[in-house]
A and B are shown apart, each in its own frame.
Chain A
Amino acid sequence: MTTASLNRAFALLLWRDLLLAFRRRTELLNPLLFFVLVTTLFPLGIGADPALLRQIAPGIIWVAALLAAMLSLDSVFRSDFEDGSLEQFLLSAQPLSVLVLAKVIVHWLITGLPLLIVAPLLGLLLNLPGESIATLMLTLLLGTPVLSLVGAIGVALTVGLRRGGMILSLLVLPLYIPVLIFAADAVQSAGAGLSISAHLSLLAALLMLSVSLSPLATAAALKISLG
């Protein structure tokens, strides 16, 4: 009975958040545009030499993805915090960490997944070869959920603050570094024709670790932030 109601609460929350996001469709585009724009700035700043661009493309795309994920983090808890539903989640009989996981999954679906879809386009723009683009998408698939999960801890800690944006970046970006290292290196290795299974295994390990630990930390942080 309790498991059934937990599953139901999870599914309902997932559906509610997706619906809310869908009602504000134009906002969905913003992180995506940001991702594309930041990536476009680099060739303008560095120069359009195709060989150079191909070499730095994995880093550029991943840094842009990191920033886009971070800037969109605020939406995970912000509106729920402002209209008071976050407090209701805290009071609900269901474990907060499971509800948090539902919210993070929605956040990934509306901000992480679109990045995955435009990434090949950016790869083409930056002159990446085919196998690198495939690897890029694989790393984004494994890496962006980690960004959402780890970022949720940071948002939960800063949700009560009026100007939490700058602090959020200070809290979250250092924790993103391992993802950046493994993912960008995987894309680079794929371009050089090397094996990338070690990179992918490590990224998957990071994903497993953050799926299991981050909702707990996020729930604890939310309880502290909301007193």
Chain B
Amino acid sequence: MLRFFHQLGSPKHFYRIAGAWIPWLAAACGVLVLYGLYQGMVVAPTDYQQGDSYRIMFIHVPSAWMSLFIYVVMAAAGAIGLIWHMKLAEVIAISSAPIGASFTFLALITGSIWGKPMWGTWWVWDARLTSELILLFLYLGVMALYSAVDDKRTAARAAAILAIVGVVNIPIIHYSVEWWNTLHQGPTVTKFGAPSIDLRMLIPLLVMAVAFKLFYLLVVLMRARVEVLERERNARWVRELVERS
């Protein structure tokens, strides 16, 4: 078991192991997305207030969860890379940034599409929307810093510092914005006791959340493999790999 993790830390074995995982992850993610979407779009009952337009939440809510989750993963991986000089952690951190930015963007877009019929406007300066927008800027900052520095190891370490500073700031930004203004409907899933959401809506939502997590894992492994190849392009195993194919 320990040997497995040790191997996972070396780029060569990571490349091989991740390559073996990817088809399985893709299959599991595909099945869950299809099942979740079917349950959410067809089986789940119509909301008595919002009609059918609430169904966009099966995309919107998991995306918003993922946007924060990936930022924390990115900062944690960055910190591991900084502290133990693990190359692979740096690779994971930096491969996560564009995925997190995409989920944040998706959450903003779907929220805006949902907001048009519900609030009658595409955008309001509501607390959660604004902090999601700021989160997008934080992601873009990490990506911009990474691409601006020529030496990729230095770039990854600099981006990791920025991600860690961002993680400290996210709660501060979130609460300052929340205090500033709020209109978004409160959380309905995490309430203690009986959640105020119908079980037939909750299950597809959770299925979609798991599916999105798998999707992230899938894409981050794919991106990390490419990144590893690019960084190790002078290593012997990469040359052998290219010659073989």
Contact = CB atoms under 8 A, between A and B. Distances in A.
B237 to A, nearest CB: 27
A171 B154 contact: no
A153 B158 contact: no
Interface in A164-195: 164, 167, 170-171, 173-175, 177-178, 181-182, 185
Contact of A181 (B137, B144, B149, B176): B176
B147 to A, nearest CB: 9
A11 interface: no
Given A153-B161, A181-B177, A227-B154, A213 B137 contact: no
Contact of B145 (A171, A202, A227): A171
A217 B164 contact: yes
Given A217-B164, A227-B154, A167 B176 contact: no
Contact of A175 (B151, B154, B161, B169): B169
A213 B168 contact: yes
Interface residues of A, number: 26
Contacts of A185: 180
Interface of A is mostly: helix
B134 to A, nearest CB: 5
B137 A157 contact: no
Interface centre among A158, A167, A178, A182 (most CB of B within 10 A): A178
Interface stretch (A23-31, A115-123, A218-226): A218-226
A213 B167 CA distance: 13
A210 B162 CA distance: 15
Contacts of A206: 172
Given A177-B177, A185-B180, A225-B154, A171 B161 contact: no
Using C-beta atoms within 8 Å of the partner chain, give the interface range for chain B: 20 to 34
B173 A224 contact: no
Given A174-B134, A174-B141, A217-B164, A224 B158 contact: yes
Given A174-B173, A177-B134, A185-B180, A217 B165 contact: yes
B80 interface: no
B157 interface: yes
A143 to B, nearest CB: 12
A44 interface: no
23 contacts: A157-B145, A157-B158, A167-B145, A170-B140, A170-B141, A170-B144, A171-B141, A171-B144, A171-B162, A174-B134, A175-B173, A177-B176, A177-B177, A178-B172, A178-B173, A181-B176, A181-B180, A182-B176, A202-B176, A206-B172, A217-B161, A225-B158, A227-B151
The 5 A-B pairs with the shortest beta carbon distances in the complex, nearest first, are A178-B176, A174-B137, A224-B157, A171-B141, A181-B176
